[in-house]
Structure formats: structure tokens, C-alpha cells
Structure 1
């Protein structure tokens, strides 16, 4: 087989690259931010977070290039993915990844971090508008009310998570605008999804890991609200504790040997990263050993889970299963 044919086959395989793989960037970026925050709470090495952050940037660039090639060569497949009632929501993983990367980059280059945040903010608001407008056309199947529907709404909350300290005069109103959108979208969709989980068939086994996304509105909401207000009050505490409670509930439903590994498992990464960051931030505020113990456990679990996901993803990439139709 010629080199040209091998390159062509590899490029053709990109048509099966799932957009939800960008969730890996979300999770790894969140892990980087958690380890940076850990250096403030526990005095761990700051460079750990920097190394993980560099890995997140590299993975994003690789995925962005690969998905751009897919878009150029297999545009109809990308459009079909975007229009899908479930998969379409995962395009929010791209915009969230950009917003989180702005926080990862900012300590190294403030200007670049601000530019990435602005791009991420514009794309996030546009995507939220498109997704919500599409859903309001009506006649949505109840079985399509899945946790992934929360992603575009949670994405708007991430604008404030990453932009709470942006120096622009207009950033305050943009952050407030994003919190307003994200809060009420998340509230409505959360109720719809819980209703579907209670009254309809269980989620397909491939979507089972996405149940952890249900903690995201509360933990991302906690981070966005506290970054915006620059303090932690009782409302913020309630968001943190309810998200923590939901995590315990869903942890034992998701992390089972009966749920086979697939790219969909990356759906657990960012919600868990948000919970870990929230716990570390709350530990700074409360300064109580039980809260610090929870923060340590969550950071350890998050790190272990992401290492496992990363290794397993590399395995299915190199054995050809990741990009197989």
C-alpha cells in the first residue's frame, strides 16, 4: 500500500471523529485549574497544574485541526451531527473548552487568555441561541431529554467562571447576562431531564456516563456565581452541597463494570472537575478539615479517573477502534 493511500485512509477515518471528544479538553483543563487551586489550599506544586494545562492546550489544537479537516472533507456528516437532537448539544464542549483554556492560558499570557475568552464567549452565546431556538420548534421526543441537553446552558455559566476577573468595562454585564441565561436554561432542562429519568426508559448504556453532567449546573453555577460576586454566601454554599449530593447519588449508578468504555465516558470529566474546583474553593472559604478532606478525596478521584480515561482513549485510538464507523 502506497504512502498516499495510507494518508487517505487516515484522513477518511476522521469522518468518524466524534465532537464529544472535546469533552476531554474540558476535563483536563478543569484538572489543571484544580491542581493550581490545590497549590493555594494545600501548598502542592504549582507546576503540576501548568503541565496538565499544557497537555490540555495540545490536545485541543490536535482535535481542532482534526475536526477542521473533518468539516472540510465531510461537511455533511458534521451538519448531521450538529442537527442530531442529542449529539448536537455536544458542540458546546468546544466552546466550553475554549473558555476553560482561557483560564489555563491567562497566567502565562494575559492578552492571549483574554482573546480566547472573547472568542469562546461569542461562540457560546451563538450556540446557546441556535440550540434553544431549535428545541422550541416543538415535537421533541421525551426520550431525547438527556443530560447532554444541559451542555449549552452550562456553557453560558462558564463564561462567568472564566471571565469573572476580566478587566474589560463591559465584562461585568456580559458575565451577568451569561449567568442569567445559564441559570434558567439549566433550571428548566434539569427538571425535564429528571422527569424523563423517572418516568421513561433508562438511558441507553452508552449515555449512562453522561448522568454525571447533572451535577454541572450546580458546581459550575457555584464557580460562576462566586467568581462574579467575588464572595461565597449561603446561596453559593447550597449550590455546592446539592451538587455534591447529586454526585454521590450518580457515582454509584455510573461507575459500574457493566458500562463499557467509550468516548462517552469523557462526559464525566468536566462535571467532576467542576466539583473538585468548587470543593477546593469552598475549602479556602470555610477552612474546615472535613471540607478539606472532601476536597482532597475529590481531587484524587478526579485525577485517577482522568488518567484512566486518557490511557484507555489512547488504547482505542492506536488499535483503530476510536475512528471506526
Structure 2
């Protein structure tokens, strides 16, 4: 009897340990998988683009897309369930995460994931009641976070933007842009414009702040440097959102897409920046996949508008790169599943130990 009780206590402690080490940064995985599902849907959707390269993507089996969508849904439900349990059993850690200059931005990630998965769904139309209800459920938390975080940037002493800005701050912008795109697909252009205006106004200020690298601003550790790729995601998603609102990939969308291409080339030309973060597998590696996938989605709309071979080759290259990176990350995650929840100073986010130590970033 004592052995059984000790075993149960050990299992309980192990589960509690998992919840204490789990954090919102793990939603990078769902961001990547949900955006991949949306990319595959975008590539396979019927359009007036009859270029032979685009026709290659239309040959993708629908079963493969449904399998990917189901995998994304499973990962998102699993991560969301774990985080709900973390809220219930370790609310103090969630509260510290909310007050953390990096952690608070990843609270947008689950809602962004749900919105992207909603747009990729093959089971009901975007103009239907289900889409409308789910859109409201997922957009309200984003707006609540906007009011809290953007209000702090403007008014609150140590929470001024110049003091807390870091690359993950762009997730707040991306959340509004994803919501704007989903609203535009429902035909709610006024709501889409509202969210687009909120996102882009704060993106402009944030982009300038991050470029200035003001003294005293919050930095990120070496293990978190893959999040620099979020610089690509914001303008790429903005181009997609504006395309859905305006109904055409016009000059504004093209400029935003070209900006993401320029930032991508700027980052890949500096491999030394990411050298330390690549020494040991970490969940932060998933930060590479989502921005590349969003940029690939933007390239599909660009190719559809331009209808020339060069734009379709660019679409093919970016889409292939996005898929390859996602596959490699899935393989590495499967191979290192036992060490996916580290608790040391190199953790990709901030690992709060069982004895309530201060977060480490």
C-alpha cells in the first residue's frame, strides 16, 4: 500500500513539474503547424492563376491537407489543455509570465493559432455562422491583451515600449492582422479595417523602436534569437490582411511583402547571430517556421497577382523552404521529446522552478 501511495505521489509530482516548466512559448509549435495548414489550403484553393507551377500544388492530395489540419488541431488542443491546467495549478507562474516582457507576448500565440486554423478549416464556409461565432471567441482575448499591453506602452512607467520592446512584441501586431484577415474573409471589412489600423499603427512605432535599440530596452538571451524571424512575419501578414480587405494584392501589399523579403535576406546573411541558439535543440527553434510560412503565403498572393514565371519560382522556393523547415523541426522534436521541457538557464523562454524561483530568460 505504501509503495502504491509513493508511486501516485511521484506521478503527481512529475505532472506538477511538467506544468511548472510548461509556458506559452510552446505555442510556437501550434503557430507553425496551423500556419502550415493555412499555407497548404492557400496553395490548393482554386484561383484564376493558371501558371504551370501553381498547377503542381493543386495536385496535392486533399487527404494530406486534412491530415495536416488534424495534426495542427491536435497539437493546439493539447497545448491549450496543458496551459489551462497550468493556470489552474500554477496561477502564480502564469501571473509572472503575464508580467514578463517576453512571456506576455506569447499569450497571443494560442489565439493566433486558433484564428489561422479557423481560416484553414475544410469543414465549413467562411461566411457561415460557425466561423462568425468562433471568430468572436478567438478575437476577444486578443483585443483584451491589446488594451492591457498597448495601454502600458503609453502610460505605465517601467512598462514603456522603449523599455520592454523586443522581437516577440511583434506577436501583438500579428494577432490583430490575423484577426483582420479572418474578418475580411467573412465580409466584415469595417471590423477588418479596425483591427488592421490597430495592428499597423503599433507596428510602425514598434518597428522604429526595435531598430533604434534604445539603451535600457529589454534584450533577449542567445537561445531566443530565432524569434528575430518574427521581423518577417509582421509585414508578410500585413500584406495578406490588406489583400483580403482590399480584394487585390496591390502596391501596398507588394511593399509590405518586399519588406519581409529584405528582412529575410538581412537575417540569413548573418548566420553567426543564431550560432549559439543552434548548439542544442530547444523549442525556440520553432520560431523559424511560422514567419517563413507566412512569407510563403504572401508569395502565393504575389504570384497570383503577377502571373509571371519569376514570381512563381519565388513562391515555389519559399513554400518548399517553409515545408522543409517544418518537417525538420517535427523530426527534431520527436527525437528530443524527452528533453522538450528543460529547466536551466538556457531555456528558450523562462523556466520557473518548482520552488518558485524568479524567471530566467
Q: TM-score, normalised by structure 1?
A: 0.91
1:30 to 29, 35, 57: 35
Could you tell me how far 1:44 is from its partner in structure 2?
A: 3.1
Q: Choose the corresponding residue for 2:310, options 290, 295, 298.
A: 290
TM-superposed deviation, 1:321: 4.3
Q: Any stretches of 5+ residues in structure 1 without a counterpart?
A: none
1:126 aligns with 144
Alignment partners' CA distance in 2, 1:320 and 1:241: 38
Among 104, 109, 117, which residue is 1:88 paired with? 104
Task: Give the structure 2 partner of residue 108 of structure 1.
Answer: 123
* Aligned residue among 254, 266, 276 for 1:258: 276
d(CA) in 1 for partners of 2:204, 2:96: 28
Aligned partner of 1:278 in structure 2 is: 298
Deviation at 1:320, TM superposition (A): 3.8
User: Is the counterpart of residue 224 in structure 1 residue 241 in structure 2?
Assistant: yes
Deviates more, 1:1-10 or 1:265-274: 1-10
1:54 aligns with 2:70: yes
CA distance in 1, matches of 2:240, 2:322: 17
Q: 1:46 to 1:222 in 2, by over 3 A?
A: farther
- Aligned-pair distance for 1:314? 3.1
Gap change, CA 1:46 and 1:6, over 3 Å in 2: farther
**Deviation of residue 252 (structure 1)?**
3.5
Q: Which moved more, 1:235-244 or 1:264-273?
A: 264-273
**Among 98, 104, 114, the residue aligned to 1:98:** 114
Q: Which has the larger radius of gyration?
A: 2
Query: Displacement of 1:273 after TM fit?
Result: 1.2
Count of equivalent residues: 320
The match for 2:59 is 44
Change in CA separation of 1:198 and 1:74 when aligned onto 2, cut-off 3 Å: closer
1:138 matched to 2:153? The reply is no
Q: 1:75 to 1:248 in 2, by over 3 A?
A: same
- The reply on whether 1:239 has 2:244 as its aligned counterpart is no
CA-atom RMSD in angstroms: 2.3
**CA 1:30–1:69 in structure 2 vs 1: closer, same or farther (change >3 Å)?**
same
User: Is the 1:34–1:49 Cα contact (8 Å) retained in structure 2?
Assistant: no
Offset of residue 118 of structure 1: 1.5
Bigger mean CA deviation after superposition, 32-41 or 60-69: 32-41
> What is the Cα deviation at residue 203 of structure 1?
4.7
1:18 maps to 23
* Alignment partner of 1:299 is 2:297: no
5+ long unaligned stretches in structure 2 = 46-53, 344-352, 354-361
More helix by share: 1
- Residues of 2 paired with 1:196 and 1:95: CA distance? 29
User: For residues 50 and 293 of structure 1, what CA distance do their matches in structure 2 show?
Assistant: 26
Deviation at 1:63, TM superposition (A): 0.6
Q: Does the 8 Å CA contact 2:165/2:217 hold for their aligned counterparts? A: no
What CA distance in whole angstroms lies between the structure 1 residues aligned with 2:206 and 2:21? 29
Alignment match of 2:203 (pick from 186, 209, 213): 186
Instruction: Deviation per CA, 1:44-75: give whole Å up to 9, x if none.
Output: 31523322111111001001111111110000
* Contact 2:233-2:291 within 8 A present in 1 as well: yes
Q: Which residues in structure 2 correspond to 1:191-210 (within 5 Å)? A: 191-196=208-213, 203-210=220-227
In the TM superposition, what whole-angstrom CA distance separates every residue of 1:142-179 from its partner, at most 9, and x where no partner exists?
Answer: 57421111111221011122222215xxx222111000
Tell me, in whole angstroms, the C-alpha distance in 1 between the residues paired with 2:151 and 2:95. Answer: 17
